Amino acid sequence: MNPTSTVPIRRALLSVSDKTGIVDFARALHALGVELLSTGGTAQLLSNNGIPVIEVADYTGFPEMMDGRLKTLHPKIHGGLLGRRGVDDAAMDAHDIPPIDLLVVNLYPFEATVAKSDCTLPHAIENIDIGGPTMLRAAAKNHNAVTVITDAADYARVLTELRENHGVVNPATRFDLAVKVFEHTARYDGAIANYLGSIQADGGRDPFPRSYSVQFHKAQAMRYGENPHQGAAFYVEPQPAEACIATARQLQGKELSYNNVADTDAALECVKGFTAPACVIVKHANPCGVAIGATLLDAYHRAYQADPTSAFGGIIAFNRPLDATTAKAIVDRQFVEVIIAPEVSPEALMITASKQNVRVLACGQWNTDCRAPGWDYKRVNGGLLVQDRDLGQVASSDLKVVTQRQPTDAELVDLLFAWQVVKFVKSNAIVYGRDGMILGVGAGQMSRVFSARIAAMKAQEEKLDLHGAAMASDAFFPFRDGLDLAAEFGITAVIQPGGSMRDNEVIAAADEHQMTMVLTGMRHFRH
């Protein structure tokens, strides 16, 4: 560290767009004897609150101009931030550049501005901050001597150190805050590049910009990745748009592993699709038990019944707060890796505490009727595949009946339930279900007919009767063999996207077996 880094803070420059907490912070700095410089609206706010402040224009002798575009781009500002104490002192003295020891800046709200439906390109351009990022980078580069703050959440931390250390901020804190600056400006510049790079020659917007920048924050280091020889960490979005694995609070249990996070995400995203009390049990990224019920306990019992063997060591997700009765049923019955719910009652936590290694998470409540759009990513060697999240839904009114027999009301409910589940099963995917409970799952097979056979084997293993059940397929049937096989097991209703060259053959097979079949026109591949 620079040997002059223990000099107390004597001068601060405050220029913020988000003025949360700035008055109290400035008042505390003034009480510590710090001289305050500021610009425009921030200076006016401080002055109105009786806090002595020097306008930057008065400090530099250079007026603010060009509708505020030019305020702080002056050697007296940047020299005061960049000057190396003990190295550049002579140059600073020769040009009358006093040191600035503390910089507090947050930037024009570019992301919030361009997110508005009525934002125009000229308006977006005017919300690109120039002076702010320039000062931030200068101060962060010179963090050996300068403390720099971009987040109001750090005000209290810095004040505490100033009071405890006679006006000095610890070198480790200055370094941490400097890193935070470069993270902040990188995200800011990335957002600008994403927006401008999406604008086409005709003025239209390409949803996928010509270059793509995204920033995630490290939430957890992990002992290893998918396998012990792989390093890993869990990164999260700065502001997730809805309750999810990234928003989850761990209330008890061992540290989450890489596979725990992936499987918990799969279980939670599946259970979000149901409005009735629901339980989803996932093993190796695929649901092995899914059910709805009159109560959470009923839903859990029915989900477990679908595949008790695979449920061992699985991930359990609920769409209602976890209650004590359901928690007791789980810990008394099975070994479970993770339980996640919107909330967890104190009584339920007292029960799960008897199994100290069980990871219990509360993720917060979501809006089932309004899921947040976003992108999914898949890394390939040398590149990144980006696509919209699969939030596609179908209602009964969207279905096209293509067989001679119409579905009964009960079959229609079963078909939609199975369709809701199959989108979360690895392709090729087949799901059998009835009465709000899955009876068998065939996942990840290279042949659709083999997925159908495996799903039936699962049901037979657990002595679950498939007669009168519904079958969902994530993609079309390329041949009629899948229908013929399902008929042997007693399936009477089928839901699938359609679109095969042999749709007529598949429909004919359904008619031969007196099945009802509906087409969704929507595929749900999952790889």
Tokens of 28: 């505390």
Q: Please tell me which residue in 19, 30, 180, 284 is annotated as part of the active site.
A: 284
Stretch(es) of the chain classified as CATH 3.40.140.20: 247-362, 398-519
Is 295 buried (19+), middle (13-18) or exposed (0-12) by CB count in 10 A? middle
Res 86: pLDDT: 85
pLDDT in tens, 224-253: 999 999 999 999 998 898 999 999 999 999
Residue 463 CB coordination number (10 Å): 7
Q: What is the 3-state secondary structure (H, E, C) of 192-217?
A: HHHHHCCECCCCCECCCCCCCCCCCE
Task: For the chain, state the CA radius of gyration.
Answer: 30
Whether the predicted pLDDT of 1 surpasses 50: no
Top-level CATH class of 11-198? alpha beta
Stretch(es) of the chain classified as CATH 3.40.50.1380: 11-198
* 376 SS3 class: strand
Q: What's the CATH fold of domain 398-519?
A: Cytidine Deaminase; domain 2 (3.40.140)
Res 92: pLDDT: 87
Q: Average of pLDDT values for 386-393? A: 91
Is 366 buried (19+), middle (13-18) or exposed (0-12) by CB count in 10 A? buried
Q: Average of pLDDT values for 365-374? A: 85
**CATH architecture assigned to 247-362:** 3-Layer(aba) Sandwich (3.40)
Residue 5: band (very low, low, confident or very high) from pLDDT cuts 50, 70, 90: low
Mean pLDDT of the chain: 93
Q: Can you say whether residue 61 is alpha, beta or left, with left for phi > 0 and alpha for psi between -120 and 50 degrees?
A: left
Instruction: Tell me if residue 71 is catalytic.
Output: no
Eight-state DSSP code of residue 153: G
pLDDT in tens, 472-486: 999 999 999 999 999
Whether the predicted pLDDT of 2 surpasses 80: no
Model pTM greater than 0.85? Answer: yes
- The pLDDT > 70 percentage for the chain reads 98
Res 302: pLDDT: 97
Q: Average of pLDDT values for 60-68? A: 75
Q: Please tell me which residue in 19, 30, 141, 328 is annotated as part of the active site.
A: 141
Q: Average of pLDDT values for 193-211? A: 90
Instruction: Tell me if residue 19 is catalytic.
Output: no
pLDDT in tens, 396-414: 999 999 999 999 999 999 9
